[in-house]
Amino acid sequence: MKLARVAYSGAIHDATDAGGGRLRLSDGRVVGEEAVVWLPPFRPRTIVALGLNYADHAKELAFNAQEEPLVFLKGPNALVGHRAQTRRPGDVTFMHYECELAVVIGRPARRVARADAYHYVAGYTVANDYAIRDYLENWYRPNLRVKNRDGCTALGPWLVEREDVPDPMKLALRTTVNGKVTQEGNTRDMISDVAFLVEYLSGFMTLDAGDVILTGTPEGVVDVKAGDEVVTEIEGIGALVNFIVGDDAFGRN
C-alpha cells in the first residue's frame, strides 16, 4: 500500500493512493493530489544519513570509498515534502540533488542480526538530499551547512510498505532536471546494503519506529539553479518532485 501525509482544509491527514491522481483521506474524502500540501509521508524521528555509499559517487566527488559506513545525523527542520521548495543560497556556485532510497523503521531495533533486519523495516520512500559543494569541508565531516539546512531534504511522496517491495536492493533510481535525465543508478550498487545498515546501526544505537535511514546516491549529480524542477524517482516507490528557488522566495536578498 502507498501511504501519505498531507495538509488539507486546515488539518493534517493520513492518506492513501486512490489512483488517477487522487488521494483518499483518512476521513473518507477523495481529493486531487494537487489540492493538498504534501508532508513527509510518516512522522519522522531520528534521521540517519549515509555518505559515499555508492563507489561511483565517491569517485565522482574525488573521495575514496570508506571501509566503514560514513554516517551522520540530520535535524527535523531539514525535511520537506513532495512538491515543496528548496532554497539555493545566492552565494553558492554548486548545489546538487541526491536521489536516495529512504528506509523507514517500523519498530524498536537493538542489536539486530542481518538475517532479521527486514522485519524491523516499515517501508520505503524517496529522498532528495541536496548538498552544496561550496560548504563541503572533507569526507569525514559533512558539516551542518551542507546537510542540515532548513528544507534541504525532500521526502515522499509515498511510504510504500515493506511487503510491497520484494527486493529493495534491485531498484532503479533516476533523476531528471527540467525533464532531462541527469542521473541513473540502481540500489544493487550500494556499498553497504539495507540489511547491513540496520544491523550496523542497531549495534550501537536503538532504532525506533519513525527513524529513517537515507542510503546514499549514485553518480550523476549536476548543479541546479533557481527555477529548476527536480524529480527523483525510484522504481516501485514513487517520483518525488521538488522546486529550486532563490533567496528572494525566502525574503533574503
- What CA–CA distance (Å, rounded) separates 195 from 169? 10
Compute φ and ψ for 128, nearest 5 degrees.
Answer: -125, 100
Structure confidence at residue 38 (pLDDT): 98
- For residue range 124-180, what is the model confidence (pLDDT) as tens digits? 999 999 999 888 776 555 677 888 899 999 999 999 999 999 999 999 999 999 999
Compute φ and ψ for 248, nearest 5 degrees.
Answer: -60, -30
Structural element, H or E, at residue 188: none
Structure confidence at residue 111 (pLDDT): 98
Query: Which of 57-66, 157-166, 216-225 is predicted with the least confidence, judged by mean pLDDT?
Result: 57-66
- What CA–CA distance (Å, rounded) separates 142 from 92? 16
Does residue 76 have a cis bond before it (omega within 30 degrees)? no
Structural element, H or E, at residue 208: none
Confidence at 57, pLDDT banded by 50, 70, 90: very low
Proportion of the chain above pLDDT 70, given as a percent: 92
pTM above 0.95, yes or no: no
Look at residue 31 and tell me whether its pLDDT is greater than 70.
yes
If you average pLDDT over every residue of the chain, what do you get? 92
Topology annotation, domain 42-250:
Fumarylacetoacetate hydrolase; domain 2 (3.90.850)
Average pLDDT, stretch 76-100?
96
Look at residue 237 and tell me whether its pLDDT is greater than 70.
yes
**Angle made by CA atoms 68, 73, 76, in degrees to the nearest 5:** 155
Q: How far apart are the first and last CA of the chain?
A: 44
Structure confidence at residue 110 (pLDDT): 97
Structure confidence at residue 240 (pLDDT): 98
Structural element, H or E, at residue 56: helix 55-60
Going by C-beta distance under 8 Å and a sequence separation of 6 or more, which residues neighbour residue 246? Answer: 87, 88, 90, 226
Among all chains, which residue has been given the C-alpha cell 511522496?
Answer: 157
**Angle made by CA atoms 228, 60, 72, in degrees to the nearest 5:** 80
Instruction: Give the burial string for 34-60 (b: 16+ CB within 10 Å, else e).
Output: eebebbbbbebebbbbbbbbbeebbee
- Selected from 2.40.50.140, 2.30.30.370, 3.30.2080.10, 3.30.1340.10, the CATH number assigned to the domain covering 1-39 reads 2.30.30.370
Look at residue 98 and tell me whether its pLDDT is greater than 80.
yes
Answer yes or no: are the C-beta atoms of 122 and 209 closer than 8 Å: yes
Structure confidence at residue 52 (pLDDT): 80
Where are the CATH 2.30.30.370 domain residues in the chain?
A: 1-39
Between 23 and 219, the higher pLDDT residue: 23
